[in-house]
Structure 1
Amino acid sequence: MTSKQMDAIVLQAFGSPAQALTRRSEPVPEPGPGEVLVEVHAAGVNPLDVFIATGMLGTPVPVIPGGDFAGVVVSDGGLAGQEVWGSGWSQGVELGMTRPGTHARYVALPEKLLSRKPARLTMSEAAAVGRSYVAAWMTVITQMDIRGGETILITGGAGMIGQAATALARWRGATPIIAARHKPEGVEHYIDTASGDIPEAVRELTEGRGADLALDIVGGALFEPAVRSLRFGGRLAATFNNLTRIEFNPGEEIVNRQLRISGIASLFWEPTEIAAIFDQLAPLFDRGLLPAPAVKAWPLDKAAEAYQAVAAGSAGIKQVLLPGDTTE
């Protein structure tokens, strides 16, 4: 390790953000073979960060948390000075879990994890894309291959993954139906999950046919309604941490209607696959085909408050830390 120091947020114990997190001086990490040093200009805070802080994953402590980032390569080499972005939650990297994460002034990253940041986005906006868009891309584009003219039901569509999935669906020419506890701005087709029959509402919106696709981000009690909302031969992808047990008849609901059901966990993807998603996202943001995420930026010494905002539910606004001396 180098003798140079940096400001960092450290997960020192498990519990609430105020109990678990502290800001302190840490050594600037030394990049290993195939790695570069990135000065972090902005770093997103995700529900996974909050979940890790509770100790439910058994992450060794102390550790610097954080997986999403936007910044500038400051180590020598061909990438020196390049603005980069990405997400370090992938197989063999696990930023903020098994190695120091991005909620610090500097982070050492494998070169294969880096993608060139879109010029149209600020650092805060770029850091807000992160894990949400990775999960949305994996499900909506890679797994379900959404197409123009199709209809997709998105449960939990008011959250960050839901907003990303909505944007990707619209880019592909599909029609999103958002099922959530509150209606996001700019949404035409909305179902209140607190009242009403979701499958019936979907049929009303699709002239009795049912949705072509469903993305279940919530799980639990919403999984069966999402399945029942699909047309014959429809497809569903699920990405959630809800471990609630549910019971329904898979023969009747899945087999007899020839549905295709898949589950996605981004932690098991390779770093090069994650970087490839960011490479494809960059020109879409630069050309204005995808909207910039809504962001609330926090200085590093307010990290516990940013984490608490995520834990409380941030109504579709991404909480982002600014580890450096400047703000946007």
Structure 2
Amino acid sequence: MKAISYSRYGGPEVLEYGDLREPKVGPDSVLVKVRAAAVNPVDWKAREGYLDPVLDAVFPVVPGWDVAGVVVGLGASVTEYAVGDEVIGYVREDFLSRGTFAEYVGAPVRTLARKPRNLTWEEAAGLPLTGLTAYQVLVKALRVQRGETVLVHAAAGGVGSIAVQLARHLGARVIGTANERNHDYVRSLGGEPVTYGEGLAERVRGLAPEGVDAAFDTIGGDTLKVSAQLLVPEGRLVSIADGDVVSYGGRYSFVRPDADDLTRLAELAEQGVVSVHVFETFPLERAADAYRRNEEGGTRGKIVVTVAWDTAGPDA
């Protein structure tokens, strides 16, 4: 099969496009023929070695954890899916090796859900990691309640844009930080935009003089510090970007695969509660360019890699 892989840590230049062995399918997994895979910042951070303290790399590593595709093979114990089912997945294992930037991926059923019927392949590929991150932070960690005010950082980004929509669905008022050029987009999601940078605290307090009930940090550093200062006395703070959040009385969160959570997200997408904005797409052979674009930052929504589709089987 054709795939993107790297055999050493480094920048986009270590990514290679070529042939790799088709993945084996374990008893609790299915073989997915990939239609699209989304780029996430954690992918290039892993490629550069930042996750080496917690995840072993088994080279060559195929990057990517997000996928949308079609089931073409079943493990011996799988009863949840049939050949031909359209699925999405956050296909993360506890090591780096068998990712989704390939024509095929072996996906444990615990990482999958059925694809929302109203989303394109590209949109569907952009939902799992960002959607699960937003859902698990807002629902399980911050426990956002109706009538509360929630501060969401990078509200026009992949995670932030889903978080704004979910928080609004939960009945919260949402203030979202974003570059000025993305303010209209944040408003379209149901958020009240404020600009990043110096004076952020004053701008947020101009909208919420008493402070915010919950803050969702996706940036870290000074942004995390400002978020802590903006909380009401019993406010809650969660970061997915900076472990120092615990020093402010908050909680660090790393998204985990969860088939039930992903199924719920797919249902919300079909109900029109959650949408995924695809900023730009690249073919598989140009995945390195997709990563470069993601690393530049400032994008709106998701960058997605598409895989050419044919009727050949996994042994072709």
TM-score normalised by the chain length of structure 1: 0.84
Is 1:323 the counterpart of 2:307 in the alignment? yes
1:262 is aligned, of 232, 236, 251, to 251
1:195 is aligned, of 198, 211, 222, to 198
Q: Match for residue 3 of structure 1?
A: none
Letter in 2 for 1:209: E
Q: Match for residue 25 of structure 2?
A: 31
Deviation at 1:114, TM superposition (A): 1.7
Is 1:47 the counterpart of 2:36 in the alignment? no
Matches within 5 A, 1:29-178: 29-58=23-52, 59-76=57-74, 78-89=81-92, 93-94=93-94, 97-178=95-176
- Helix, strand or coil for the counterpart of 2:287? helix
- The CA RMSD over aligned residues, in Å, is 2.1
Q: Match for residue 286 of structure 2?
A: 302
Matches within 5 A, 1:14-29: 14-17=9-12, 19-29=13-23
Distance 1:101 1:246 in 2: 30
- Helix, strand or coil for the counterpart of 2:237? strand
* 1:184-236 deviations in Å (ceiling 9; x for gaps): 414252222223241x3222212x21111111111111112101111121111
* 1:154-195 deviations in Å (ceiling 9; x for gaps): 122232111111111111121111123444414252222223
Matches within 5 A, 1:163-312: 163-182=161-180, 183-184=182-183, 185-187=185-187, 189-198=192-201, 200-206=202-208, 208-240=209-241, 242=242, 261-266=250-255, 269=256, 271=257, 274-312=258-296
- Helix, strand or coil for the counterpart of 1:27? coil
* 1:91-116 deviations in Å (ceiling 9; x for gaps): xx24xx43311100001111222211
* 1:252-281 deviations in Å (ceiling 9; x for gaps): xx6xxxxx6221112xx3x4xx21111101
Distance 2:62 2:300 in 1: 25
Letter in 1 for 2:11: S
1:157–1:84 distance in 2 versus 1, CA, 3 Å: same
Deviation at 1:314, TM superposition (A): 4.6
- Helix, strand or coil for the counterpart of 2:125? helix
- Helix, strand or coil for the counterpart of 1:179? strand
Runs of 5+ in structure 1 lacking a partner? 1-5, 255-259
Identity fraction in percent: 32
The 10-residue stretch of structure 1 (151-160 or 76-85) with the greater mean CA deviation from structure 2: 76-85
1:262–1:320 distance in 2 versus 1, CA, 3 Å: same
Q: Match for residue 5 of structure 2?
A: 10
Letter in 2 for 1:232: P
Letter in 2 for 1:321: V
- Helix, strand or coil for the counterpart of 1:109? strand
- Helix, strand or coil for the counterpart of 2:127? helix
Q: Is the 8 A contact 1:14 1:53 kept in 2?
A: yes
Distance 1:148 1:57 in 2: 36
The 10-residue stretch of structure 1 (289-298 or 209-218) with the greater mean CA deviation from structure 2: 289-298
Distance 1:232 1:55 in 2: 38
The 10-residue stretch of structure 1 (27-36 or 185-194) with the greater mean CA deviation from structure 2: 185-194
- Helix, strand or coil for the counterpart of 2:63? coil
Name segments (4+ residues, structure 1) moved above 3 Å. 180-184
Letter in 2 for 1:82: D
Letter in 2 for 1:120: N
Letter in 1 for 2:226: P
Distance 2:110 2:157 in 1: 29
Distance 2:19 2:106 in 1: 16
- Helix, strand or coil for the counterpart of 1:303? helix
Letter in 1 for 2:292: Q
- Helix, strand or coil for the counterpart of 1:84? strand
Deviation at 1:144, TM superposition (A): 1.3
Q: Match for residue 257 of structure 1?
A: none
Distance 1:54 1:126 in 2: 27
Letter in 2 for 1:29: P
Distance 1:176 1:11 in 2: 40
Distance 2:298 2:111 in 1: 28
Distance 1:24 1:231 in 2: 53
Letter in 2 for 1:292: V
Deviation at 1:246, TM superposition (A): 9.4
Deviation at 1:295, TM superposition (A): 3.8
